[in-house]
Structure 1
Amino acid sequence: MAVLGFLSFLYRQIFTTLPVPTGSYAGQTVVVTGSNIGLGKEAARHFARLGASTIILAVRNLRKGKDAKAEIEKDTNCGPNVLQVWEVDMASYASVKAFAARITTDLPRIDIFIENAGKATGIYTKAEDNESSITINVISTFLLAALVLPKLKESAEKYGIRPVLTIVASAVHATAKFTERNAPEEKIFDMLSDEAVFEKNKVDRYPVSKLLEVLAVQAIGERYPADSYAVTINCTSPGLCRSGLARELSDDSFHIQRSPIARSTEHGSRALVHAGSQGPESHGKYLSDCVISPTRGLAAGKGSKELRDRVWRELTQKLESIQPGVTRGF
């Protein structure tokens, strides 16, 4: 099964061409986190090219964000007020809260919100109270989602639209061994924050973070069905891309991302634009190569529902410990 999965991955990487985004985004407001480089910047470039009225480049480094803004403006000839550079550091809960508050007060509407910021690392560091990649890829990602969803729901009601919140996941969710799932009840995130556990399982850590994203999106879809929910929440895989994501990983991982089968960031970014443009049929779903796709590994089959229920329960408890009442945003 693993061999067949790898061969399928190779086939998709080599022979599947993702559709170039088309259509008009005139009048729409789009937010893209992690948009000073890589997939996020290329997705923002597509939205600018297709006429989005406001695009928020949500970045940790304002200087690099401003450089990205200037580059996109030059490339697309969009107006000088279309792109705005806002600061958010996903390693800081306070920064995430401040950014979400600014979203709520300063933007009249939100049509598309793409959570692209992420981290892959083989080096143990802590951010807030967890290992940094879990904080950034999982906890802060869903904290931000909970904080901005009321604004997306307000936009839906006021403007008669169905906003989309997309989380950038990965096909590597299928490879996660996730031995930390064997932790005692309500201790998964404690185990994930343990340095000794990280060192033992660090090759698995990025896949685990992506698996947790997929499981949480599935859980949202189950608890808040599309036909009674004003916002579409989905996740997408852009495939293996040549980006800076692996800069803190091993040399082997770095070279894989530079291999001939890896997509360009522009090519991969098409998946982000596609997912952010989908309707209720994608709510709670995982998209790969711009189609709704089955999840794999621990996110599918026997035991997957029990696992996602537990992950969702422990994740929401974690979010409530950061800001009481925040999960009411879902």
Structure 2
Amino acid sequence: MANRRQHPLSVFTETNYLHAFANPGYITHLFWAQWQTVPLPEPGFFADQTIIVTGANVGLGLEAVRHFARLGATRVIVACRSVEKAEAAVANVRQSLTPEQDAACKFEAWDVDLGSFASVAAFGRRAAAELDRLDAVVENAGIAAGDYTPLEGYESSITVNVLSTFYMGLLLLPLLRRTATQYNVRPRLTFISSDAHFFARFAEQYEPSIFDALKDPSTMSHDRYNVSKLLEILAVRELAGILDKNNVPVTVNTVNPGLCRTQLFRSLPFGIRHLVHGVLYTVGRTASMGARTLVSAAAAGPETHGQYLDTTEVWPVSTYVTSEAGNKAQRRVWAEMLDILDAVHPDISKNIE
């Protein structure tokens, strides 16, 4: 991991797209990052390791599975919304491997729908029952919703990108901890965030309940995806501090894969979707190159614990995140989310003790 450097975006005090694209620092960072060749860990780095990748049927998730297999992973859980999609992903990856790589990696097609708390719970139970170890989890599944759709009582991007994502992480934490103890390793739990968090207006922070405010269809805007990514970063920072306090030897981090040519924005309104895709196909990374950032984060050391990674390096988060207001919001977000998840799964909070 290279030395920490000043991120051009850290100078922002106003968080909206107009100011971002008018600021030369953002453009400099964008073009610098997008054309970097993202390094991968050494071949064989993931030998003997078991890895879970969610949202693994397309885009970054699919390519991450391919990279993990080529880098020697022993067992890869390919997690998608249906077994059929997961099986198709496995077939796609296997066709691209050498016979030796294919023989060395055991792929398993599992289903999990992050729009359903029950599905996430079932996935967690299966992992606890069937996996003897778990070395890395890449929580890649996510959405960028254009319209308000309720899932489990919350707007879909909040349910999928935040609540279910952290529910899965908490469910898998006991297995990660057991792996650390039994195999004398430090497992990694990686959340896929975005530099979109720099642009979150996050008006909901001023409401009595942040997550209740995010339920309101009348507040649905193009800021919702940005807010979901900001909430991920706040929650990871709080979780990392709790794990440190409790001496839990698991690294949690977030990673920004950059602008990538994937299907993430397929649910946006027609005009905006085509504008975004035009930008992506002009400056976007390929899915294979973007997936390298996920793999690097899943291989990263304890120096990345609680940190935000960009192009494999630890970068500063937005100035809001580290401000007094951001610290206050961080504690509120974590407490509210834990209350929600404890109601779904009583005593889930004990998994971090």
**Range moving further from structure 2, 57-66 or 204-213:** 57-66
Deviates more, 1:189-198 or 1:93-102: 189-198
Aligned to 2:106: 82
**More off after superposition, 223-232 vs 83-92:** 223-232
- Unpaired runs of at least 5, structure 1: none
1:226 CA drift (Å): 8.0
Matches within 5 A, 1:265-276: 265-276=287-298
3-state DSSP of counterpart to 1:177: coil
Matching residue's letter, 2:307: K
Alpha-carbon distance change, 277 to 106 in structure 1, aligned in 2, over 3 angstroms: same
Specify the alignment match of 1:134 in structure 2: 158
What TM-score do you get using the length of structure 1 for normalisation? 0.94
Matching residue of 1:240: 259
Cα distance in structure 2, aligned partners of 1:203 and 1:9: 23
Q: Which residue of the partner structure matches residue 95 of structure 1?
A: 119
Structure 2 CA distance for aligned equivalents of residues 318 and 227 of structure 1: 22
**Does 2:42 match 1:22?**
yes
Q: CA deviation at 1:81?
A: 6.3
Q: 1:189 to 1:46 in 2, by over 3 A?
A: same
CA distance in 2, matches of 1:49, 1:226: 36
Alignment of 1:244-323 (within 5 A): 244-250=263-269, 251-257=271-277, 258-323=280-345
Aligned-residue offset at 1:16:
2.2
Question: Which residue among 216, 219, 230 is the counterpart of 2:235?
Answer: 216
Query: Which of 34, 43, 66 lines up with 2:64 in the alignment?
Result: 43
Letter of the 1:231 counterpart = V
- TM-score, length-scaled by structure 2: 0.88
Q: Separation in 2 of the partners of 1:208 and 1:101?
A: 30
Moved more, 251-260 or 21-30: 251-260
The structural deviation recorded for 1:297 is 4.6
Give the counterpart letter for 1:59 in structure 2.
C
Distance 1:208 1:177 in 2: 7
Q: What CA distance in whole angstroms lies between the structure 2 residues aligned with 1:153 and 1:229?
A: 7
- Residue 226 to residue 234, structure 1, CA distance change in 2 (3 Å): farther
Percent of matched pairs sharing the same residue:
39
Which residue, 188, 195, 198 being the options, matches 1:174?
A: 198
Q: Point out which structure has higher relative CO (alpha carbons under 8 A, 6+ apart).
A: 2
Report how far residue 222 of structure 1 moved.
Answer: 2.1
**Shift in Å, 1:212:** 0.2
Residues 307-316 or 209-218, more deviating? 307-316
**Bigger shift: 202-211 or 252-261?**
252-261
Aligned-partner SS, 1:233: strand
CA contact (8 A) 1:227 1:280 kept: no
User: What is the alpha-carbon root mean square deviation over aligned residues?
Assistant: 1.6
Give 2:69's aligned amino acid: A
Q: How far does residue 227 in structure 1 lie from its aligned partner after superposition?
A: 9.2
| Alpha-carbon distance, 1:20 to partner | 3.4
The whole-number CA distance in structure 2 between the counterparts of 1:19 and 1:81 is 22
93-102 vs 80-89, greater mean Cα deviation: 80-89
Counterpart residue type for residue 213 of structure 1 = E
Q: Which amino acid aligns with 1:83?
A: F
Note if 1:115 corresponds to 2:130.
Answer: no
Number of residue-to-residue matches in the alignment = 325
How far does residue 218 in structure 1 lie from its aligned partner after superposition?
A: 0.7
